[in-house]
Amino acid sequence: MIIKDEKMKTTTINELENVYEAAVKMLTVPTLDNIYGPDSLNKIFAPSFLFIGADTNKKCDNLNDLKKLLNKKIKQDKPLVAENAVTKFPVFRSYSPKGDTAVYVDELNFINTESKKTTSDRLRITIVLNKMVQGWRVVHLHTSTAIETTKHESSPGTEITAKIEALEDQVRVHKCELEAASEKLKENQDKLIRQEKLASLGQLTAGIAHEIKNPLNFITNFSELSVEFLDEIEEHIEKLDNNVTTEEIKFLIQDVKGNLDKIHHHGTRADGIVKSMLLHSRGGSGEMEDTDLNNLIKEYVNLSFHGMRANKNPINVDIKVEVDKDLGMVKINPENFSRVVLNLCKNAFDAMREKLEQKNNSNYSPQLIVRTKRAEDKTIVEFEDNGPGVPMEIREKMMLPFFTTKKGTEGTGLGLSISQDIIKTHNGVLQIDSREGEFTKFTIVMKTPGVN
Average pLDDT score over residue span 361-382: 89
User: Is residue 352 very low, low, confident or very high in pLDDT (cuts 50, 70, 90)?
Assistant: very high
Q: Does the pLDDT value for residue 243 go beyond 70? A: yes
Q: What is the pLDDT of residues 249-271, one digit of tens each?
A: 888 999 998 898 889 888 887 77
Confidence of residue 116 (pLDDT cuts 50, 70, 90): low
Residue 276 has pLDDT above 80, yes or no: no
pTM beyond 0.85: the answer is no
CA distance linking residue 212 with residue 419, whole number of Å: 26
Please, what is the average pLDDT of the chain? 76
pLDDT at 281 over 60: no
Q: How confident is the model at residue 322 (pLDDT cuts 50, 70, 90)?
A: very high
Measured distance CA(331)–CA(446) in Å, rounded:
10
Cα–Cα dist 193/123, whole Å: 43
The pLDDT, as a whole number, for residue 9 is 60
Over residues 386-410, mean pLDDT: 64
Confidence (pLDDT) at 150: 39
Distance separating the N- and C-terminal Cα atoms of the chain: 45
364 or 86, which is more confident: 364
Residue 111's pLDDT band, with cuts at 50, 70 and 90, is low
Least confident range of 293-302, 350-359, 379-388 = 350-359
166-170, 391-395, 420-424, range with greatest mean pLDDT? 420-424
pLDDT of residue 163: 61
The stretch 357-376 carries a mean pLDDT of 86
Is pLDDT above 80 for 205?
Answer: no
Which residues are CB-contacts of 280 (< 8 A; sequence separation ≥ 6)?
202, 205, 335, 338, 339, 342
Residue-wise pLDDT for 206-231, tens only, equals 667 667 777 888 888 888 889 888 98
Res 62 pLDDT > 60:
yes
Higher pLDDT, 206 or 282: 206
Ordered structural domains, the chain, with CATH: 10-153 (3.10.450.50), 289-452 (3.30.565.10)
Model pLDDT, residue 5: 46
Kindly state the percentage of the chain with pLDDT values over 90.
12
